[in-house]
A and B are shown apart, each in its own frame.
Chain A
Amino acid sequence: MLRWSGAVLALMLVASGWLVIQSPLDAMQGVIQKILYVHVPCAFASYAGFFVTALGSGLYLWKREDRYDRLALAGAEVGVVFCTLTLLSGPIWAKGTWGQWWVWDPRLTVTLLLWFLYLAYLLLRSFTEGSERTARFAAVYGLMGATAIPLNYYAIELFGGAAMHPDNLERGSLGQGMGLPFLMSVLTGLVAVWYLVVARLDLENLRVQSAARLGGYPRT
Protein backbone atom coordinates (compact mmCIF):
# COMPACT_ATOMS: atom_id res chain seq x y z
CA MET A 1 0.00 0.00 0.00
CA LEU A 2 2.78 2.39 0.91
CA ARG A 3 4.78 1.93 -2.26
CA TRP A 4 1.71 2.08 -4.41
CA SER A 5 0.37 5.27 -2.86
CA GLY A 6 3.89 6.72 -2.99
CA ALA A 7 4.08 6.05 -6.69
CA VAL A 8 0.68 7.65 -7.29
CA LEU A 9 1.72 10.64 -5.22
CA ALA A 10 4.98 11.07 -7.13
CA LEU A 11 3.12 10.97 -10.44
CA MET A 12 0.53 13.46 -9.27
CA LEU A 13 3.18 15.80 -7.90
CA VAL A 14 4.88 15.85 -11.27
CA ALA A 15 1.59 16.30 -13.12
CA SER A 16 0.25 19.10 -10.94
CA GLY A 17 3.66 20.77 -10.83
CA TRP A 18 3.71 20.87 -14.60
CA LEU A 19 0.11 22.10 -14.77
CA VAL A 20 0.78 24.86 -12.26
CA ILE A 21 3.82 26.07 -14.16
CA GLN A 22 1.78 26.03 -17.37
CA SER A 23 -1.22 27.77 -15.82
CA PRO A 24 -1.97 31.33 -16.87
CA LEU A 25 -1.09 34.27 -14.68
CA ASP A 26 -3.97 35.91 -12.90
CA ALA A 27 -4.88 39.23 -14.49
CA MET A 28 -5.04 41.14 -11.20
CA GLN A 29 -2.80 39.27 -8.81
CA GLY A 30 0.00 38.20 -11.11
CA VAL A 31 2.34 35.42 -10.13
CA ILE A 32 1.49 35.59 -6.42
CA GLN A 33 -1.81 33.89 -7.20
CA LYS A 34 0.13 30.68 -7.79
CA ILE A 35 0.67 30.33 -4.04
CA LEU A 36 -2.97 29.27 -3.96
CA TYR A 37 -2.03 26.09 -5.83
CA VAL A 38 -0.16 25.17 -2.64
CA HIS A 39 -2.32 26.89 -0.04
CA VAL A 40 -5.69 25.43 -1.05
CA PRO A 41 -4.49 21.80 -1.25
CA CYS A 42 -2.79 22.21 2.15
CA ALA A 43 -6.07 23.49 3.60
CA PHE A 44 -8.02 20.54 2.19
CA ALA A 45 -5.31 18.20 3.42
CA SER A 46 -5.51 19.59 6.96
CA TYR A 47 -9.30 19.14 7.00
CA ALA A 48 -8.82 15.60 5.67
CA GLY A 49 -6.31 14.91 8.45
CA PHE A 50 -8.78 16.18 11.00
CA PHE A 51 -11.48 14.00 9.53
CA VAL A 52 -9.18 10.97 9.81
CA THR A 53 -8.45 11.86 13.45
CA ALA A 54 -12.12 12.30 14.30
CA LEU A 55 -12.98 9.05 12.51
CA GLY A 56 -10.21 7.15 14.29
CA SER A 57 -11.23 8.63 17.65
CA GLY A 58 -14.88 7.69 17.19
CA LEU A 59 -14.04 4.19 16.01
CA TYR A 60 -11.64 3.69 18.90
CA LEU A 61 -14.21 4.66 21.51
CA TRP A 62 -16.71 2.37 19.87
CA LYS A 63 -14.57 -0.68 19.12
CA ARG A 64 -11.63 -0.17 21.50
CA GLU A 65 -9.18 -1.50 18.95
CA ASP A 66 -5.67 -0.03 18.96
CA ARG A 67 -5.47 0.31 15.20
CA TYR A 68 -8.12 3.03 15.27
CA ASP A 69 -6.13 4.94 17.84
CA ARG A 70 -3.08 4.68 15.58
CA LEU A 71 -5.20 5.99 12.73
CA ALA A 72 -6.26 8.96 14.82
CA LEU A 73 -2.65 9.69 15.76
CA ALA A 74 -1.50 9.45 12.13
CA GLY A 75 -4.29 11.78 11.04
CA ALA A 76 -3.35 14.33 13.70
CA GLU A 77 0.36 14.32 12.94
CA VAL A 78 -0.19 14.66 9.21
CA GLY A 79 -2.97 17.18 9.68
CA VAL A 80 -0.93 19.46 11.93
CA VAL A 81 1.83 19.66 9.33
CA PHE A 82 -0.58 20.63 6.57
CA CYS A 83 -2.40 23.02 8.87
CA THR A 84 0.90 24.76 9.63
CA LEU A 85 1.66 24.99 5.93
CA THR A 86 -1.80 26.43 5.30
CA LEU A 87 -1.31 29.06 7.99
CA LEU A 88 2.11 29.95 6.59
CA SER A 89 1.20 30.05 2.90
CA GLY A 90 -2.07 31.92 3.37
CA PRO A 91 -0.62 35.06 4.96
CA ILE A 92 2.11 35.20 2.34
CA TRP A 93 -0.60 35.39 -0.30
CA ALA A 94 -2.70 37.71 1.84
CA LYS A 95 0.09 40.23 2.33
CA GLY A 96 0.61 40.32 -1.42
CA THR A 97 -3.06 40.77 -2.30
CA TRP A 98 -5.01 42.20 0.63
CA GLY A 99 -2.03 44.05 2.07
CA GLN A 100 -2.56 42.43 5.48
CA TRP A 101 -0.92 39.34 6.95
CA TRP A 102 -4.02 38.28 8.83
CA VAL A 103 -7.73 39.02 9.28
CA TRP A 104 -10.16 37.46 11.72
CA ASP A 105 -12.59 36.16 9.17
CA PRO A 106 -14.47 32.83 9.64
CA ARG A 107 -12.28 30.55 7.62
CA LEU A 108 -8.98 31.84 8.98
CA THR A 109 -10.19 31.77 12.57
CA VAL A 110 -11.50 28.22 12.26
CA THR A 111 -8.24 27.05 10.64
CA LEU A 112 -6.27 28.63 13.47
CA LEU A 113 -8.58 26.93 15.96
CA LEU A 114 -8.01 23.64 14.16
CA TRP A 115 -4.26 24.16 14.50
CA PHE A 116 -4.55 24.77 18.24
CA LEU A 117 -6.79 21.73 18.63
CA TYR A 118 -4.27 19.56 16.79
CA LEU A 119 -1.43 20.81 18.98
CA ALA A 120 -3.41 20.31 22.18
CA TYR A 121 -4.31 16.80 20.98
CA LEU A 122 -0.66 15.92 20.35
CA LEU A 123 0.47 17.44 23.64
CA LEU A 124 -2.22 15.49 25.49
CA ARG A 125 -0.89 12.33 23.93
CA SER A 126 2.67 13.18 24.98
CA PHE A 127 1.78 13.99 28.55
CA THR A 128 -0.48 11.04 29.27
CA GLU A 129 1.05 7.87 30.59
CA GLY A 130 -0.16 4.45 29.64
CA SER A 131 -1.07 3.65 26.07
CA GLU A 132 -4.68 2.68 26.79
CA ARG A 133 -5.33 5.82 28.82
CA THR A 134 -3.61 7.95 26.17
CA ALA A 135 -5.78 6.44 23.46
CA ARG A 136 -8.95 7.01 25.46
CA PHE A 137 -8.22 10.61 26.42
CA ALA A 138 -7.01 11.49 22.96
CA ALA A 139 -10.10 9.97 21.38
CA VAL A 140 -12.40 11.93 23.68
CA TYR A 141 -10.50 15.14 23.05
CA GLY A 142 -10.55 14.49 19.33
CA LEU A 143 -14.32 14.22 19.39
CA MET A 144 -14.69 17.26 21.63
CA GLY A 145 -12.55 19.21 19.20
CA ALA A 146 -14.73 18.01 16.37
CA THR A 147 -17.75 19.62 18.05
CA ALA A 148 -15.87 22.84 18.72
CA ILE A 149 -15.13 23.40 15.03
CA PRO A 150 -18.73 23.77 13.75
CA LEU A 151 -19.64 25.73 16.89
CA ASN A 152 -16.82 28.14 16.24
CA TYR A 153 -17.76 28.45 12.59
CA TYR A 154 -21.33 29.22 13.62
CA ALA A 155 -20.05 31.75 16.15
CA ILE A 156 -17.99 33.62 13.63
CA GLU A 157 -20.74 33.54 11.03
CA LEU A 158 -22.99 35.18 13.59
CA PHE A 159 -20.59 37.89 14.58
CA GLY A 160 -17.49 37.75 12.55
CA GLY A 161 -15.93 40.39 10.42
CA ALA A 162 -16.58 40.69 6.72
CA ALA A 163 -15.56 37.47 5.00
CA MET A 164 -12.39 38.47 3.24
CA HIS A 165 -11.29 34.97 2.46
CA PRO A 166 -12.19 34.05 -1.13
CA ASP A 167 -15.31 32.03 -1.70
CA ASN A 168 -15.43 28.47 -2.89
CA LEU A 169 -14.38 27.50 -6.37
CA GLU A 170 -17.94 26.77 -7.45
CA ARG A 171 -18.74 30.44 -7.51
CA GLY A 172 -16.73 30.94 -10.66
CA SER A 173 -13.98 32.91 -9.00
CA LEU A 174 -11.35 31.02 -10.93
CA GLY A 175 -10.01 32.44 -14.12
CA GLN A 176 -9.76 30.67 -17.45
CA GLY A 177 -7.43 27.71 -17.58
CA MET A 178 -6.99 27.53 -13.82
CA GLY A 179 -9.60 24.87 -13.15
CA LEU A 180 -7.53 21.85 -14.04
CA PRO A 181 -4.36 22.89 -12.17
CA PHE A 182 -6.48 23.61 -9.09
CA LEU A 183 -8.24 20.31 -9.28
CA MET A 184 -4.99 18.43 -9.76
CA SER A 185 -3.33 20.28 -6.88
CA VAL A 186 -6.20 19.56 -4.51
CA LEU A 187 -6.26 15.89 -5.50
CA THR A 188 -2.49 15.75 -5.04
CA GLY A 189 -2.93 17.22 -1.56
CA LEU A 190 -5.45 14.55 -0.66
CA VAL A 191 -3.26 11.78 -2.06
CA ALA A 192 -0.38 13.23 -0.03
CA VAL A 193 -2.48 12.90 3.12
CA TRP A 194 -3.31 9.32 2.20
CA TYR A 195 0.33 8.46 1.58
CA LEU A 196 1.59 10.14 4.75
CA VAL A 197 -1.12 8.60 6.93
CA VAL A 198 -0.30 5.15 5.56
CA ALA A 199 3.41 5.78 6.14
CA ARG A 200 2.78 6.97 9.70
CA LEU A 201 0.54 3.99 10.38
CA ASP A 202 3.24 1.65 9.13
CA LEU A 203 5.77 3.34 11.37
CA GLU A 204 3.46 3.12 14.38
CA ASN A 205 2.71 -0.54 13.73
CA LEU A 206 6.45 -1.25 13.53
CA ARG A 207 7.04 0.63 16.77
CA VAL A 208 4.31 -1.31 18.57
CA GLN A 209 5.64 -4.61 17.26
CA SER A 210 9.23 -3.88 18.22
CA ALA A 211 8.21 -2.64 21.68
CA ALA A 212 6.20 -5.81 22.21
CA ARG A 213 9.18 -7.89 21.16
CA LEU A 214 11.46 -6.00 23.53
CA GLY A 215 8.83 -6.39 26.24
CA GLY A 216 8.44 -2.66 26.79
CA TYR A 217 5.63 -0.14 26.63
CA PRO A 218 4.68 1.00 23.15
CA ARG A 219 5.06 4.70 23.73
CA THR A 220 2.88 6.78 21.43
Chain B
Amino acid sequence: MRVAAAIFWKDLLIEWRSRDRIVAMLLFSLLTVMVFHFSLPGGATAQTQAMAPGLLWIAYVFSALFGLGRSFSLELENDALSGLALAPTDRGWILLGKVAANLVILGVAQAVTALVFALVFDLSLLPVAPALAGIVVLGSLGLCTVGTFFSAIAVQTRFREVMLPLLLLPVLWPLLSAAVRATTALLAGEPVPSEAIQLLIVSDATYLIVSFLSFDFILDD
Protein backbone atom coordinates (compact mmCIF):
# COMPACT_ATOMS: atom_id res chain seq x y z
CA MET B 1 0.00 0.00 0.00
CA ARG B 2 2.78 2.39 0.88
CA VAL B 3 4.40 1.52 -2.42
CA ALA B 4 1.29 2.63 -4.24
CA ALA B 5 1.25 5.88 -2.30
CA ALA B 6 4.94 6.44 -3.01
CA ILE B 7 4.52 5.83 -6.75
CA PHE B 8 1.43 8.06 -6.75
CA TRP B 9 3.32 10.88 -5.12
CA LYS B 10 6.39 10.43 -7.31
CA ASP B 11 4.39 10.55 -10.54
CA LEU B 12 2.45 13.62 -9.45
CA LEU B 13 5.66 15.33 -8.39
CA ILE B 14 7.30 14.59 -11.74
CA GLU B 15 4.22 15.90 -13.49
CA TRP B 16 4.11 19.02 -11.35
CA ARG B 17 7.74 19.81 -12.05
CA SER B 18 7.52 19.45 -15.80
CA ARG B 19 3.80 19.84 -16.45
CA ASP B 20 4.35 18.40 -19.91
CA ARG B 21 1.62 15.77 -19.83
CA ILE B 22 -1.13 17.96 -18.47
CA VAL B 23 -0.38 20.76 -20.92
CA ALA B 24 -0.34 18.37 -23.87
CA MET B 25 -3.56 16.71 -22.73
CA LEU B 26 -5.31 20.03 -22.16
CA LEU B 27 -4.26 21.39 -25.49
CA PHE B 28 -5.29 18.21 -27.23
CA SER B 29 -8.71 18.24 -25.55
CA LEU B 30 -9.31 21.83 -26.51
CA LEU B 31 -8.29 21.19 -30.10
CA THR B 32 -10.60 18.17 -30.19
CA VAL B 33 -13.49 20.31 -29.00
CA MET B 34 -12.73 22.79 -31.75
CA VAL B 35 -12.71 20.03 -34.33
CA PHE B 36 -16.08 18.81 -33.03
CA HIS B 37 -17.45 22.32 -33.27
CA PHE B 38 -16.36 22.72 -36.86
CA SER B 39 -17.49 19.26 -37.91
CA LEU B 40 -21.00 19.81 -36.58
CA PRO B 41 -22.65 22.47 -38.68
CA GLY B 42 -25.08 24.86 -37.09
CA GLY B 43 -23.36 25.40 -33.75
CA ALA B 44 -25.13 24.70 -30.45
CA THR B 45 -28.46 23.34 -31.62
CA ALA B 46 -30.62 20.79 -29.85
CA GLN B 47 -29.18 18.09 -32.09
CA THR B 48 -25.56 18.82 -31.25
CA GLN B 49 -26.44 19.14 -27.58
CA ALA B 50 -27.88 15.65 -27.75
CA MET B 51 -24.55 14.44 -29.11
CA ALA B 52 -22.50 16.35 -26.55
CA PRO B 53 -22.18 13.51 -23.98
CA GLY B 54 -20.79 11.12 -26.57
CA LEU B 55 -18.41 13.74 -27.91
CA LEU B 56 -17.31 14.62 -24.40
CA TRP B 57 -16.34 11.03 -23.74
CA ILE B 58 -14.56 10.81 -27.08
CA ALA B 59 -12.52 13.85 -26.05
CA TYR B 60 -11.79 12.21 -22.68
CA VAL B 61 -10.69 8.94 -24.26
CA PHE B 62 -8.44 10.67 -26.77
CA SER B 63 -6.76 12.83 -24.17
CA ALA B 64 -6.33 9.74 -21.99
CA LEU B 65 -4.62 7.94 -24.88
CA PHE B 66 -2.33 10.91 -25.14
CA GLY B 67 -1.46 11.12 -21.47
CA LEU B 68 -1.45 7.48 -20.41
CA GLY B 69 1.24 6.53 -22.85
CA ARG B 70 3.61 8.86 -21.07
CA SER B 71 2.90 7.17 -17.78
CA PHE B 72 5.30 4.35 -18.49
CA SER B 73 7.47 5.85 -21.16
CA LEU B 74 9.00 8.08 -18.50
CA GLU B 75 10.08 4.88 -16.75
CA LEU B 76 12.17 3.86 -19.74
CA GLU B 77 14.83 6.41 -18.95
CA ASN B 78 17.76 5.02 -16.98
CA ASP B 79 16.06 1.64 -16.99
CA ALA B 80 13.71 2.73 -14.23
CA LEU B 81 11.30 0.02 -15.35
CA SER B 82 13.69 -2.66 -14.16
CA GLY B 83 14.03 -0.80 -10.91
CA LEU B 84 10.29 -0.92 -10.44
CA ALA B 85 10.22 -4.59 -11.33
CA LEU B 86 12.84 -5.34 -8.68
CA ALA B 87 10.89 -3.58 -5.93
CA PRO B 88 10.15 -6.05 -3.12
CA THR B 89 6.42 -5.75 -3.31
CA ASP B 90 3.36 -7.05 -5.07
CA ARG B 91 3.72 -5.40 -8.46
CA GLY B 92 0.02 -4.65 -8.59
CA TRP B 93 0.59 -1.83 -6.09
CA ILE B 94 2.92 -0.14 -8.56
CA LEU B 95 0.09 -0.24 -11.08
CA LEU B 96 -2.38 1.17 -8.58
CA GLY B 97 -0.06 4.02 -7.69
CA LYS B 98 0.28 4.93 -11.36
CA VAL B 99 -3.47 4.56 -11.94
CA ALA B 100 -4.15 6.97 -9.08
CA ALA B 101 -1.67 9.51 -10.43
CA ASN B 102 -3.10 9.24 -13.94
CA LEU B 103 -6.60 9.66 -12.54
CA VAL B 104 -5.63 12.95 -10.93
CA ILE B 105 -3.85 14.25 -14.04
CA LEU B 106 -6.64 13.13 -16.35
CA GLY B 107 -9.18 14.57 -13.94
CA VAL B 108 -7.72 18.02 -14.25
CA ALA B 109 -7.79 17.79 -18.04
CA GLN B 110 -11.34 16.46 -17.93
CA ALA B 111 -12.61 19.28 -15.73
CA VAL B 112 -11.25 21.92 -18.09
CA THR B 113 -12.58 20.03 -21.12
CA ALA B 114 -16.04 19.89 -19.56
CA LEU B 115 -15.96 23.64 -19.04
CA VAL B 116 -15.01 24.28 -22.65
CA PHE B 117 -17.68 21.85 -23.81
CA ALA B 118 -20.25 23.72 -21.77
CA LEU B 119 -19.21 26.92 -23.48
CA VAL B 120 -19.06 25.59 -27.02
CA PHE B 121 -22.20 23.48 -26.89
CA ASP B 122 -24.14 25.80 -24.63
CA LEU B 123 -24.75 23.24 -21.88
CA SER B 124 -25.64 24.03 -18.30
CA LEU B 125 -23.35 21.77 -16.32
CA LEU B 126 -23.36 23.60 -12.99
CA PRO B 127 -26.61 22.13 -11.58
CA VAL B 128 -25.49 18.59 -12.40
CA ALA B 129 -21.81 19.13 -11.61
CA PRO B 130 -21.50 16.76 -8.60
CA ALA B 131 -23.37 13.92 -10.31
CA LEU B 132 -21.41 14.49 -13.52
CA ALA B 133 -18.18 14.43 -11.56
CA GLY B 134 -19.25 11.14 -10.00
CA ILE B 135 -19.98 9.54 -13.36
CA VAL B 136 -16.76 10.87 -14.87
CA VAL B 137 -14.73 9.54 -11.93
CA LEU B 138 -16.34 6.10 -12.24
CA GLY B 139 -15.72 6.00 -15.96
CA SER B 140 -12.20 7.39 -15.71
CA LEU B 141 -11.27 4.87 -13.04
CA GLY B 142 -11.83 2.03 -15.50
CA LEU B 143 -10.27 4.04 -18.31
CA CYS B 144 -7.12 4.78 -16.31
CA THR B 145 -6.85 1.23 -14.98
CA VAL B 146 -6.84 -0.53 -18.33
CA GLY B 147 -5.11 2.42 -19.98
CA THR B 148 -2.20 2.35 -17.54
CA PHE B 149 -2.04 -1.43 -17.72
CA PHE B 150 -1.89 -1.47 -21.51
CA SER B 151 0.52 1.44 -21.54
CA ALA B 152 2.91 -0.75 -19.55
CA ILE B 153 2.60 -3.36 -22.30
CA ALA B 154 2.71 -0.90 -25.18
CA VAL B 155 5.84 0.84 -23.92
CA GLN B 156 7.76 -2.41 -24.20
CA THR B 157 6.82 -2.97 -27.84
CA ARG B 158 7.75 -1.27 -31.09
CA PHE B 159 5.32 1.44 -32.23
CA ARG B 160 4.22 2.16 -28.70
CA GLU B 161 2.03 5.12 -29.61
CA VAL B 162 0.08 2.97 -32.03
CA MET B 163 -0.18 -0.04 -29.75
CA LEU B 164 -1.95 1.68 -26.87
CA PRO B 165 -5.09 2.74 -28.77
CA LEU B 166 -5.24 -0.59 -30.59
CA LEU B 167 -5.10 -2.55 -27.35
CA LEU B 168 -7.25 -0.22 -25.31
CA LEU B 169 -10.21 0.77 -27.43
CA PRO B 170 -11.85 -2.64 -27.92
CA VAL B 171 -11.60 -3.39 -24.22
CA LEU B 172 -13.18 -0.02 -23.38
CA TRP B 173 -16.46 -0.64 -25.21
CA PRO B 174 -18.59 -1.69 -22.21
CA LEU B 175 -17.25 1.11 -20.04
CA LEU B 176 -17.76 3.76 -22.69
CA SER B 177 -21.31 2.70 -23.49
CA ALA B 178 -22.26 2.85 -19.81
CA ALA B 179 -20.54 6.18 -19.24
CA VAL B 180 -22.13 7.80 -22.28
CA ARG B 181 -25.57 6.44 -21.33
CA ALA B 182 -25.26 7.82 -17.83
CA THR B 183 -23.97 11.20 -19.00
CA THR B 184 -26.68 11.52 -21.65
CA ALA B 185 -29.42 10.84 -19.11
CA LEU B 186 -27.88 13.27 -16.65
CA LEU B 187 -27.54 16.13 -19.14
CA ALA B 188 -31.04 15.52 -20.46
CA GLY B 189 -32.39 15.97 -16.96
CA GLU B 190 -33.57 12.37 -16.72
CA PRO B 191 -32.77 9.98 -13.89
CA VAL B 192 -29.51 8.17 -14.53
CA PRO B 193 -30.27 4.51 -15.34
CA SER B 194 -29.08 2.33 -12.48
CA GLU B 195 -27.88 -0.27 -15.00
CA ALA B 196 -25.36 2.24 -16.27
CA ILE B 197 -23.91 2.82 -12.81
CA GLN B 198 -24.04 -0.92 -12.18
CA LEU B 199 -22.11 -1.63 -15.35
CA LEU B 200 -19.56 1.08 -14.56
CA ILE B 201 -18.95 -0.36 -11.11
CA VAL B 202 -18.77 -3.95 -12.39
CA SER B 203 -16.38 -2.96 -15.21
CA ASP B 204 -14.16 -0.95 -12.88
CA ALA B 205 -14.00 -3.75 -10.35
CA THR B 206 -13.27 -6.37 -13.03
CA TYR B 207 -10.55 -4.33 -14.67
CA LEU B 208 -8.96 -3.38 -11.35
CA ILE B 209 -8.82 -6.95 -10.13
CA VAL B 210 -7.63 -8.47 -13.42
CA SER B 211 -5.00 -5.74 -13.94
CA PHE B 212 -3.76 -5.93 -10.36
CA LEU B 213 -3.34 -9.69 -10.56
CA SER B 214 -1.77 -9.75 -14.03
CA PHE B 215 0.61 -6.86 -13.61
CA ASP B 216 3.23 -9.28 -12.30
CA PHE B 217 3.51 -10.75 -15.77
CA ILE B 218 4.02 -7.39 -17.45
CA LEU B 219 7.09 -6.37 -15.51
CA ASP B 220 8.60 -9.82 -15.56
CA ASP B 221 11.72 -8.99 -17.57
B77 CB within 8 Å of chain A: no
A192 CB within 8 Å of chain B: no
Contact B214–A143 (Cβ < 8 Å): yes
- Cβ contacts under 8 Å, B162 to chain A: 127
Write out, one digit per residue, whether chain A residues 105-123 have a CB within 8 A of any chain B CB (1) or not (0).
Answer: 0000100010011011001
B109 CB within 8 Å of chain A: no
Count how many chain B residues have C-beta atoms less than 8 Å from C-beta atoms of the other chain.
Answer: 35
Q: How far is the CA of A191 from the CA of B199 in the complex (A)?
A: 37
Query: How distant is A80 from chain B, measured CB to nearest CB, in Å?
Result: 13
Q: Decide yes or no: A155 and B214 within 8 Å by CB, A137-B156, A137-B157, A148-B170 being known contacts.
A: no
Q: Which residues in chain A, 128-158, are within 8 Å of chain B measured between CB atoms?
A: 128-129, 133, 136-137, 139-141, 143-145, 147-148, 151-152, 154-156, 158
Q: How far is the CA of A139 from the CA of B217 in the complex (A)?
A: 9
Count how many chain A residues have C-beta atoms less than 8 Å from C-beta atoms of the other chain.
Answer: 30
Q: How far is the CA of A133 from the CA of B155 in the complex (A)?
A: 12
- Cβ contacts under 8 Å, B207 to chain A: 147
B195 CB within 8 Å of chain A: yes
- Cβ contacts under 8 Å, B158 to chain A: 127-129
B190 CB within 8 Å of chain A: no
Query: How distant is B124 from chain A, measured CB to nearest CB, in Å?
Result: 25
Q: How far is the CA of A61 from the CA of B218 in the complex (A)?
A: 11
- Cβ contacts under 8 Å, B171 to chain A: 117, 144-145, 148
Q: How far is the CA of A143 from the CA of B174 in the complex (A)?
A: 16
Q: Which one of B158, B198, B214 has the greatest number of beta carbons of chain A within 10 Å?
A: B214
- Cβ contacts under 8 Å, B199 to chain A: 151, 154-155, 158
B202 CB within 8 Å of chain A: yes
Contact B153–A124 (Cβ < 8 Å): yes
Contact A152–B174 (Cβ < 8 Å): yes
- Cβ contacts under 8 Å, A109 to chain B: 173
Query: How distant is A119 from chain B, measured CB to nearest CB, in Å?
Result: 8
Contact B170–A124 (Cβ < 8 Å): no
Residue in chain A with minimal CB distance to B171? A148
- Cβ contacts under 8 Å, A123 to chain B: 163, 166
Q: Decide yes or no: A155 and B210 within 8 Å by CB, A113-B170, A124-B153, A133-B156 being known contacts.
A: no
- Cβ contacts under 8 Å, A158 to chain B: 178, 195-196, 198-199
B79 CB within 8 Å of chain A: no
Write out, one digit per residue, whether chain B residues 195-216 have a CB within 8 A of any chain A CB (1) or not (0).
Answer: 1101100110011001100100
Q: Which residues in chain B, 36-60, are within 8 Å of chain A measured between CB atoms?
A: none
A4 CB within 8 Å of chain B: no
Of the candidates A116, A124, A151, A152, the one whose C-beta lies within 8 Å of that of B163 is A124
- Cβ contacts under 8 Å, B206 to chain A: 147, 151
Of the candidates A116, A139, A155, the one whose C-beta lies within 8 Å of that of B174 is A155
Q: Decide yes or no: A159 and B181 within 8 Å by CB, A136-B220, A143-B210 being known contacts.
A: yes
Q: How far is the CA of A61 from the CA of B157 in the complex (A)?
A: 19
Q: Which one of B157, B202, B206 has the greatest number of beta carbons of chain A within 10 Å?
A: B157
Query: How distant is B172 from chain A, measured CB to nearest CB, in Å?
Result: 9
A-B contacts, 22 listed (Cβ < 8 Å): A109-B173, A113-B170, A116-B170, A117-B170, A119-B166, A123-B163, A127-B162, A127-B163, A128-B158, A137-B153, A137-B157, A141-B167, A143-B210, A143-B214, A144-B149, A144-B211, A148-B170, A151-B203, A154-B199, A155-B199, A158-B178, A159-B196
Interface residue ranges, A against B (CB under 8 Å): 61, 109, 113, 116-117, 119-120, 123-124, 127-129, 133, 136-137, 139-141, 143-145, 147-148, 151-152, 154-156, 158-159
Q: Which 10 A-B pairs have the closest CB atoms?
A: A155-B174, A116-B170, A158-B195, A151-B174, A127-B157, A148-B171, A128-B157, A152-B174, A127-B158, A120-B166
